[in-house]
Each structure stands twice: as C-alpha cells, then as structure tokens.
Homo-oligomer: A and B are copies of this chain.
Amino acid sequence: MLSNLCDTLGMTAGGLRARVRAEMTEEIKATARRHLATDGANLSLRAVARDMGMVSSALYRYFASRDDLLTALILDGYNALGAAAEAGDATVADRADLRGRWLATCHAVRTWALGTPAEYALLFGSPVPDYRAPQDTVAAASRTPTTLIRILKDGFDAGVITEPPADGVPADVRTDMARLRDRAVPDLPEVLLARGSMGWIQLFGAVSFELFGQLDNVVEAREAYFGYQMGQVATAIGIPE
C-alpha cells in the first residue's frame, strides 16, 4: 500500500526520499498506536501531530484521512495478532500435541489482546460509523483463524481427529464452509471446519467479553475461566485429551 502511494506520487522506489518517508509513516503509526491506548478509537489527528512536533495538516501528506490512518493501524493489528497466534502455536515443540497447540494459540491471542486492548477493540469491537474496511485486510484478518484451523487439519491428516457426523449441518452452511475450506485449508471436511469456526467464535467471544468489561463483577479468575473454556471447546471440536 505504501509502495503504491509512492508510485502515485511519482517516487522512485529505494530513493532516500522514499526511505525517510517510510520512516516517517512508521513513526506516525507508532505515535497513533500510543494514543490509541489512551483515547481509544477516537484518537485525534491533531494530538498525534502535536506529539510529533508538527502541524496537523502535515500528516495529510502521509495519510489521506483519519480513516486511512485507522486502516493502516487495523492492518498492522491483524498482522500482529496473527503473528502472535502463530508464535503461540509454534511454542509447542511436540507438533502432535494438538490440545497443547490449541490452548497455546488461544492463550497467545488472549495475551495479545490484554496487552494491546485498544488495538484489539479496533479490530473486533463495534465498527467505526461509515467506515468500510478495505479488501486488503481480509488476508491479514484470516491469519489467526487459519492458525487455529491448521491445528485441526494436522489432527485430521494424522487420523487423530475424525470427521464428526454431519448431524444437522444445514446445506447452505456446508456450502459456505466448503468455499471457505477451498480458500484456506483444502481437504478438510466441512463439518470439521464448521466446528472449528465455532471455536474461533468462542475464542473471540471470550476475549471480547473479558476485554469489554462484561466479566466485571462476575468472574474474577479470568485466566482460569478462559483456559477452562478453551479446553471445553477443544473437546467439543474433537481434539483428544
């Protein structure tokens, strides 16, 4: 996207100008991320500019609008979360330990969310009014669920996870799952993918519930509750003990 912008502005890639421009863009995003932590989604362009010792209008040389800046942050956020999930999965040395991998990935997602709640809210919270996420984000957004599904795939390939009976999976849902499967993880039964996607939703729900304050005055043992949930989900999906 950045190189795209450079092209439209007629800059030669690799030039010194382009490099300082890229550094500047990164610095703006970094300060914006910092403001995001305190001000939430309604961060102020002017405040970001002030923090960098420049005037607000100067930011418009780098981001066409506030929404554009948010989009860049969202994209970075999806990638950061995806990387965290992948790293979590990778911590389990025994690749055949499916449950361990599942739980490690889930906990990694939660840890990332707790560490950067504002960014998580930006990704998964209430959408900003009249803001449409560009298509670029879908690839980055699918990194985390793909990490989860890949665990199922490994288990299925190894014959440890078996295809559950297609009890009551509606036909059109199977169609959706089949399309999704072909796009991301070929050769995985739709029914298994349907259960896997449910697990992803439960993970998202659990993290959002905790982060958005719905657990306040209700559940104190947050991490234990989370771990218990994810274990139950793993069992429901068919990941052996």
Query: Which B residues touch A217, using CB under 8 A?
Result: 138
Give the copy number.
2
- A195 to B232, alpha carbons, bound, how many Å? 9
A207 smallest CB distance to B (angstroms): 9
Quick one: given A201-B202, A224-B170, are A127 and B213 in contact (CB under 8 Å)?
yes
Quick one: given A173-B228, A176-B220, A232-B195, are A125 and B128 in contact (CB under 8 Å)?
no
A168: contacting residue among B129, B133, B176, B228, CB under 8 A: B228
Query: Which B residues touch A213, using CB under 8 A?
Result: 127, 133
B221 touches A170 (CB 8 A): yes
Q: Determine if A198 is an interface residue (Cβ-Cβ < 8 Å).
A: yes
Q: Determine if A8 is an interface residue (Cβ-Cβ < 8 Å).
A: no
Query: Which B residues touch A224, using CB under 8 A?
Result: 170, 172-173
A225 touches B126 (CB 8 A): no
> Which of A24-32, A38-46, A60-68, A80-88 contacts the other chain?
A38-46
A29 smallest CB distance to B (angstroms): 19
Q: List 18 A-B contacts (CB under 8 A).
A: A40-B129, A42-B42, A121-B127, A124-B208, A125-B212, A126-B126, A141-B214, A170-B227, A173-B221, A173-B228, A180-B219, A194-B228, A197-B219, A204-B205, A204-B209, A205-B205, A205-B208, A205-B209
Residues of chain A touching chain B, judged by Cβ–Cβ distance below 8 Å, are: 38-42, 121-122, 124-129, 133, 138, 141, 168-170, 172-173, 175-176, 180, 194-195, 197-198, 201-202, 204-206, 208-209, 212-214, 217-221, 224-225, 227-229, 231-232, 236
